[in-house]
Amino acid sequence: GAGVSQTPSNKVTEKGKYVELRCDPISGHTALYWYRQSLGQGPEFLIYFQGTGAADDSGLPNDRFFAVRPEGSVSTLKIQRTERGDSAVYLCASGPAGNTGELFFGEGSRLTVL
Amino acid sequence: AQTVTQSQPEMSVQEAETVTLSCTYDTSESDYYLFWYKQPPSRQMILVIRQEAYKQQNATENRFSVNFQKAAKSFSLKISDSQLGDAAMYFCAYSGANSKLTFGKGITLSVRP
């Protein structure tokens, strides 16, 4: 597609459930990032992929959070045993090879944990 | 670690007037990029303007320009001839050698007709 696509747009789940959030980056972009944005705050870095491998996962808050990018394109963010504090908008961004710094963002997945 | 600070939570501007949004950052790197992103209610972050640290000339994109003061670690955004469509949250962001964007807390800009 022309832009970064994220699904679902909105997800409501119950505390303790497992959720998956999907990101389809711009074709050809090797870099892929996940961010989490709480209400009224700036996005916070979670994890960065360069190709298939996680180059930096230092932002993942705990071991309930995991992300994969098995073929170097689509990525899935997985959250186990969700907690109410996980409620936020999860943003995905992709960028071309080489560090120009510019990222292209999707519209995010809003996760609500009841 | 790099930090980005936006100390103004909200600003308001009259349509057609000029407004300046402030941002400061802290880093020990000499080569990096600075950005201003706009986030409307649709949630999608849209790049407004980019500045490479090695360039002394301030970036300009149509009605948007920056005042980049490297020694002071300051990076403000000026919006000229403000339009109703400029109303949004604006985020200042930094990217260095580790290739990840670090964002400030953002500022909500409202435009009065």
Per-residue pLDDT in tens (0 to 9) along chain B, 113 residues: 789 999 999 999 999 999 999 999 999 998 899 999 999 988 889 999 999 999 889 999 999 999 999 999 999 999 999 999 999 999 999 998 877 889 999 999 999 99
pLDDT over 90 (residue A72): no
- B32/A106 Cβ within 8 A: no
Separation in Å, CA of A75 to nearest CA in chain B: 17
DSSP state, A110? Answer: E
Separation in Å, CA of A101 to nearest CA in chain B: 6
Query: A73 vs A100, which has greater pLDDT?
Result: A73
A48 contacts in chain B (CB < 8 Å): 99-100
Task: Give the one of B33, B46, B106 whose C-beta lies nearest to A101's C-beta.
Answer: B33
pLDDT over 60 (residue A1): no
Chain B residues within 8 A (CB-CB) of chain A?
Answer: 4, 6, 32-33, 35, 37, 42-47, 50, 91, 95, 97-106
- Output the CA–CA distances (angstroms, integers) from residue B81 to A62, B51, B65, B86, in the order listed: 46, 21, 12, 10
| Among B11, B13, B10, B25, CA closest to B75 | B25
Instruction: Note whether A96 and A104 are within 8 A (CB).
Output: no
Task: Please tell me the predicted confidence (pLDDT) of residue B7.
Answer: 93
Question: What would the two tokens of residue A5 be?
Answer: 């696509």
**Mean pLDDT for all residues in chain A:** 92
What is the residue whose two structure tokens read 């996940």?
A34
Task: Give the one of B4, B6, B44 whose C-beta lies nearest to A105's C-beta.
Answer: B44
Separation in Å, CA of A54 to nearest CA in chain B: 13
The letter for the amino acid at A3 is: G
DSSP state, B30? Answer: S
Instruction: Note whether B26 and B72 are within 8 A (CB).
Output: no
A95 contacts in chain B (CB < 8 Å): 99
H or E element at residue A113: strand A109-113
Closest chain B residue to A88 measured between Cα atoms? Answer: B43
- A99/B42 Cβ within 8 A: no
Query: Pairing mode, if any, of strands B46-52 and B33-39?
Result: antiparallel
- Which region, left, alpha or beta, applies to residue A74 given φ > 0 means left and ψ of -120 to 50 means alpha? beta
Task: Please tell me the predicted confidence (pLDDT) of residue A40.
Answer: 85
Task: Please tell me the predicted confidence (pLDDT) of residue A98.
Answer: 65
Task: Please tell me the predicted confidence (pLDDT) of residue B38.
Answer: 96
What's the pLDDT band for A55 if we cut at 50, 70, 90?
Answer: confident
Task: Please tell me the predicted confidence (pLDDT) of residue A111.
Answer: 98
Ramachandran angles phi, psi of A86, nearest 5°: -80, -10
Query: B108 vs A40, which has greater pLDDT?
Result: B108
Instruction: Please state, in angstroms and rounded to a whole number, the distance separating the CA atoms of residues A30 and A86.
Output: 27
Q: Please give the average per-residue pLDDT across A6-13, as a whole number.
A: 97
Instruction: Please state, in angstroms and rounded to a whole number, the distance separating the CA atoms of residues B38 and B48.
Output: 6
Separation in Å, CA of A41 to nearest CA in chain B: 5
What's the pLDDT band for A96 if we cut at 50, 70, 90?
Answer: confident
